[in-house]
Structure 1
Amino acid sequence: MSLIKLFLDICFFKKGPQDTPASNFLLGLAVLAYMIVGIVLLGLEGNWAGALIEAVAEGLMLFGFLYMTLHLGKKIPRLLQTATALYACDALISAAAVPLLAWVLVTPEAKAVYILLTVLMLWHLAVVGHILRHALAIPFFFGVGLAFGYVVVSYQIMMVLFDRTL
């Protein structure tokens, strides 16, 4: 429970990735949680095999982005803690989106749900920006800008890889 509280504290900007224990085991748990939530989110429409492949692709892209960013910022020693924080916080925020996305699938005209999903997406960008700010020792808004750039590029890559349209 104390680990969940730690990641919630990061999500609420009370702590940073530097407060995350440097543990390969914990990183593995965070990646597992990220994968499970990702598969559930992507599989809500029923294509579970495709959801698994897409979740793996997203997870690898996130790690690649983080590694490249920390390498360019000369902060590679922070990779383990930062990756753990990113995967765990993403899993927590994305888990909150599961019931909302399920609701949209059942009731597409529920406009309030879209507002809540937008708020979750903006919160997610802010949390990733917060984590990157601490990991790279950069201003918060630059971290948010990096997070936004990653989302745009990764979304485009996923659209091409998995032949999705808007």
Structure 2
Amino acid sequence: MPLIKLFLDICFFRKGPQDTPASNLLLGLAISAYLIVGFVLLGLEGDWAGAVVEAIAEGAMVFGFLFVVLYLGKKLPRLRQTATALYGCDALISATAIPLLALLLMAPEAKPVYIFLTFLLLWHLAVVGHILRHALAIPFFYGVALAFGYVVISYQVMMALFDRAT
């Protein structure tokens, strides 16, 4: 499917958000995929109703973050393409974590899974940095730093909002 290939190309740093069509339909599909994957990941522990609310909250925070950084960077016209790239790539990377997290729920002592999940997190940060680099026309390091800052802040906000045990 060409859409998955596009997101894979972005995830492997062969393309950027500028290669994503500026389409409301495509943005809606990417957001839907993001929400479904987020719902499954968050619901693995059994709180499916809470997972819906948390997935929507996370999705809204992502959009808010993109809006603010693109607005401040005077690149707001790139919002649709950037959001599409970010939601689509996040859904792909996060989907690979679903079986790993399910395995950890069954066998928490499976240490190699933790290593692979750490790799996925670092790869995700690099992909978001890559997307932000192109969207904001900034160096890659700054894009990764923005991504890391967002992850730290969003984690704190989600813990405060949803009172999850750390």
Whether TM-score is above 0.5 comes out as yes
Q: CA deviation at 1:146?
A: 0.1
Q: In the alignment, what sits opposite 1:34? A: 34
Describe the superposition over 1:117-151 as per-residue Cα deviations: whole angstroms up to 9, x where unpaired: 00000000000000000000000010000000000
SS in 2 for 1:138: coil
SS in 1 for 2:126: helix
Letter in 1 for 2:24: N
Compute the TM-score of the two structures, normalised by the length of structure 1: 0.99
Q: CA deviation at 1:60?
A: 0.2
Q: In the alignment, what sits opposite 1:131? A: 131
Q: CA deviation at 1:164?
A: 1.5
* Alpha-carbon distance in structure 1 between the residues aligned to 2:92 and 2:149: 21
SS in 2 for 1:14: coil
Compute the TM-score of the two structures, normalised by the length of structure 2: 0.99
* Alpha-carbon distance in structure 2 between the residues aligned to 1:97 and 1:52: 18
In the alignment, structure 1 residue 72 sits paired with structure 2 residue 72: yes
* Alpha-carbon distance in structure 2 between the residues aligned to 1:8 and 1:117: 18
* Alpha-carbon distance in structure 2 between the residues aligned to 1:77 and 1:137: 13
Letter in 2 for 1:50: G
| Structure 2, unaligned runs of 5 or more | none
Q: CA deviation at 1:165?
A: 2.4
Q: In the alignment, what sits opposite 1:62? A: 62
* Alpha-carbon distance in structure 1 between the residues aligned to 2:67 and 2:83: 9
* Alpha-carbon distance in structure 1 between the residues aligned to 2:157 and 2:80: 25
* Alpha-carbon distance in structure 1 between the residues aligned to 2:97 and 2:72: 32
* Alpha-carbon distance in structure 2 between the residues aligned to 1:22 and 1:44: 33
Q: In the alignment, what sits opposite 1:84? A: 84
Q: In the alignment, what sits opposite 2:23? A: 23
* Alpha-carbon distance in structure 2 between the residues aligned to 1:41 and 1:55: 9
Q: CA deviation at 1:8?
A: 0.1
Aligned length: 166
Q: In the alignment, what sits opposite 1:7? A: 7
Describe the superposition over 1:86-134 as per-residue Cα deviations: whole angstroms up to 9, x where unpaired: 0000000000000000000000000000000000000000000000000
In the alignment, structure 1 residue 107 sits paired with structure 2 residue 107: yes
| Structure 1, unaligned runs of 5 or more | none
* Alpha-carbon distance in structure 2 between the residues aligned to 1:74 and 1:7: 25
Describe the superposition over 1:69-97 as per-residue Cα deviations: whole angstroms up to 9, x where unpaired: 00000000000000000000000000000
